[in-house]
Amino acid sequence: METKRKGFNIKTRRTIAYIVLILLTIMCLFWFWVLFVNTTRTHSQITTGFSAIPGTNFMNNWKSIMDGQLPVWTGLFNSFFVATASAVLTTYFSSMTAYAIHAYRFKGRKFIATYILMIMMIPTQVTALGFLELIDKMGLDNSFIPLIVPAIASPITYFYMKQYLQSSMPLSIIEAARIDGAGEFKIFNTIVLPIIKPAIAVQAIFGFVASWNNYFTPALVLHSNEKKTLPLLIATLRSADYLKFDMGKVYMLILFSIMPVVVVYLILSRQIVEGVAVGSVKG
């Protein structure tokens, strides 16, 4: 009887878990469906209210944003370049910093680790004025450099990498490599990086999405249409005057802007799942 009850309880819990997961999936995908439906409707249809049935204006909205005055493809390239460069630099150098704090024992090590985490508490908006003055003096206004280089120092990425290294990187491996005569950069690039690859994938997608969706800093730095990223182009469409404002075009540009993020996530999804699983088991 007890065995049957346990089996029944397990089946009941599994059924409830599946139901909850299905409901959460529907809730998450519902907003993507609403976005897609609105890309197929005209501005007047969208203003009338919600509809779960797609319209017939998809190609017209697509042609409107592609044949319009906004450089959509240039904005896509700009966003992809900035987001990719930021994700690569932040994961590599944050991993290197975390490795240094984890593997080396030196005076001031704890203070440096604490100081890096303290930087997380400072909002970007607080330092915006000084940041603008700095890039203006350096002649970097309307350039991608102020959007990419600061991404190298990412306290959040560093903290995640440090925690991952502590749970999955024994110091004995590093010491064995040193005994074999390997240099520090060789140890990091050929031994450490492959071990923390799942964590790198997780932080790469987070860094890519954060940079891709970033509006505040590009709005302060970039001015010409040829340098603007997709979030700035979307804001330009939304700020159009009443006669030119078209919600169908806005929704189409939003859909156009999120598709690369979905593709990047699908490419790295396996590594992301592995990284989360390893972190939950060893953390």
pLDDT beyond 50 at 279: no
Same domain, 146 and 264: yes
Higher pLDDT, 8 or 254: 254
272 or 252, which is more confident: 252
Confidence check: pLDDT of 171 > 70 = yes
Q: Which two tokens stand for residue 195?
A: 């071990």
Same domain, yes or no: 176 and 67? yes
pLDDT of 280 reads: 45
Q: Are residues 87 and 179 in the same domain?
A: yes
Mean local confidence (pLDDT), 1-18: 72
* 107-135 mean pLDDT: 82
Residues 87 and 181 in one domain: yes
CATH of the domain at 124: 1.10.3720.10
Is 270 buried (19+), middle (13-18) or exposed (0-12) by CB count in 10 A?
Answer: exposed
Which one of 59, 75, 108 terminates a domain?
59
Q: Identify which of 70, 34, 35 has the alpha carbon closest to the alpha carbon of residue 259.
A: 35
Are residues 81 and 9 located together in one domain of the fold? no
Q: What is the pLDDT at residue 113?
A: 81
State residue 12's pLDDT score: 83
Same domain, 34 and 156: no
Same domain, 55 and 65: no
What range defines the domain where residue 162 resides?
61-282
* Whether residue 109 is found in the same domain as residue 222: yes
Give the chain's domain count. Answer: 2
pLDDT digit string (tens) for 184-207?
888 888 888 888 888 888 888 888
